Structure 1
Amino acid sequence: MTWLEWWLPEQLSLVASLSLVVISFFTSALTAAVGIGGGVMLLAIMANLMPAAAIIPVHGVVQLGSNLGRLLTLAGLTDWRMAGWFSLGSVFGALAGGQLAVSIPPAFLQLALGSFILYSAWMPVFRLPAGRKSISLLGAGTAFLAMIVAGIAPFVFVVLKDLFSDRRALIATQTAMMTTQQVLKIVIFGSLGFVFSDWYGLLVLMVGTGFAGTLSGKYFLNRLPAERVQPILKALLTVMAFRLLYMGYGSLG
Structure 2
Amino acid sequence: MIELFSAGLEPPVFWALIAVSFISSFITVALGIGGGALLLAVMASVMPPLALIPVHGVIQTGSNVLRMAVLIRHVHWPPVALFLLGTVIGVACGGSVVVNLPPGAIMIGVGGFVIWSVLARPPAWLSRLPLVTGLISSFLTMFFGATGVFVANFTKSLNLPRQSHVASHAAFMTLQHLAKVLVFGILGFAFGPWLGFLLVMILAGFLGTLAGRLVLTRLTDTSFRRALDVVLILISIRLIWMGLRSLF
C-alpha distance in 2 between matches for 1:161 and 1:93: 21
TM-aligned CA distance change 1:77 to 1:233, over 3 Å = closer
- Point out where structure 2 has 5 or more consecutive residues left out of the alignment: none
- Structure 1 length normalisation: TM-score? 0.82
**Alignment TM-score, normalising by the size of structure 2:** 0.83
1:112 and 1:149 in contact (8 A); partners too: no
Which residue of 2 is the match for residue 162 of structure 1? 157
Unpaired segments ≥5 residues, structure 1 = none
Q: 1:55 to 1:128 in 2, by over 3 A?
A: farther
Change (3 A) 1:202 1:116: farther
Say whether 1:80 aligns with 2:81.
no
The 1:188–1:28 alpha-carbon spacing in structure 2 relative to 1, beyond 3 Å, is: same
Match of 1:51 in 2: 48
Q: Is the 8 A contact 1:36 1:153 kept in 2?
A: yes
Please report how far the alpha carbon of residue 181 of structure 1 lies from its aligned counterpart in structure 2 after TM superposition: 0.8
Alignment of 1:1-253 (within 5 A): 3-5=1-3, 7-10=5-8, 12-100=9-97, 104=100, 108-109=102-103, 111=104, 115=108, 119=112, 122=115, 124-125=117-118, 126-129=122-125, 134-224=129-219, 225-226=223-224, 227-228=226-227, 231=230, 242=241, 246=245, 248=246
Are the aligned partners of 2:68 and 2:167 in contact in 1 as well (CA < 8 Å)? yes
Take 1:120 and 1:195, find their aligned partners in 2: how far apart are those partners? 34
SS of the aligned residue for 1:151 comes to coil
1:121 to 1:13, Cα distance in 2 relative to 1, 3 A: farther
Inter-CA distance 203–178: structure 2 relative to 1 (3 Å threshold): same
Does the 8 A contact of 1:45 with 1:240 survive in 2?
Answer: no
SS of residue matched to 2:17: helix
Count of residues in correspondence between the two structures: 241
**Percent pairwise identity:** 34
CA-atom RMSD in angstroms: 2.9
Counterpart CA distance in 2 for 1:7 and 1:234 is 35
The amino acid across from 1:124 in the alignment is: S
Q: Contact 2:110–2:150 at 8 Å: present in 1 too?
A: no
- Cα distance change, pair 70–98 in 1 and its aligned pair in 2 (3 A): same
Any runs of at least 4 consecutive aligned residues in structure 1 with deviations exceeding 3 A, and if so which?
Answer: 102-105, 111-125, 224-246
Deviation at 1:245?
6.0
Per-residue displacement from partner, 1:165-200 (whole Å, max 9, x unpaired)? Answer: 412212211211111111101111011011111212
Whole-angstrom distance in 2 between the partners of 1:123 and 1:38: 21
Quick check: 1:117–1:238 contact (8 Å CA) kept in 2?
no
Shift of the 139–229 alpha-carbon distance from structure 1 to 2, 3 Å rule, reads closer
